[in-house]
Amino acid sequence: MRPSWDEYYMEMAEVAKKRSTCMRRQVGAVIVKDQRLLASGYNGAPSGINHCSEVGCLREKLGVPSGERHELCRGLHAEQNAIIQAALHGVGIKGSTIYVTHKPCIICTKMMINAGIQKLIYKGDYPDGLSEAMLKEAGITVEKYTEDERS
């Protein structure tokens, strides 16, 4: 059977996730507009910087719980990398949809709002109440992906 658009793009986010160098959680993201893939990203250190998989996880060393103190990390999140890649290559993402393998944190949510992303489709949960509240306040459509639909 032919995959739905949501299934197609979420599978692409899952493939992007495979490039992650995070030792705690691998995440992938793709940004889409008018059924065209605009950018992709995965979580890992900035270009030219050693990855956590090479030098160890600072968050693990410091005992930082998941969902807290995002600034204490060598890596960028998948959503951040996708937005940055679009900007780096001059690709406008205003009015787009982002597919992410995990619900975004508050930092990624704020970036998505200012980048003009209008819809979020996510697969896995992530505990961040402020992120949920700001997505709602910004009017971003939020959908949890389910694998039941094909067309």
Annotated active-site residue in 11, 79, 132, 147: 79
* Binding positions for Zn(2+): 77, 105, 108
* Rg, C-alpha atoms of the chain: 15
Distance CA 101, CA 133 (A): 20
CB 66 within 8 A of CB 36: no
Residue 36 main-chain phi, psi, to 5 deg: -125, 130
Tokens of 85: 């890649």
Note if 79 is an active site residue.
yes
* Binding positions: 77, 105, 108
> Which amino acids are annotated catalytic?
79
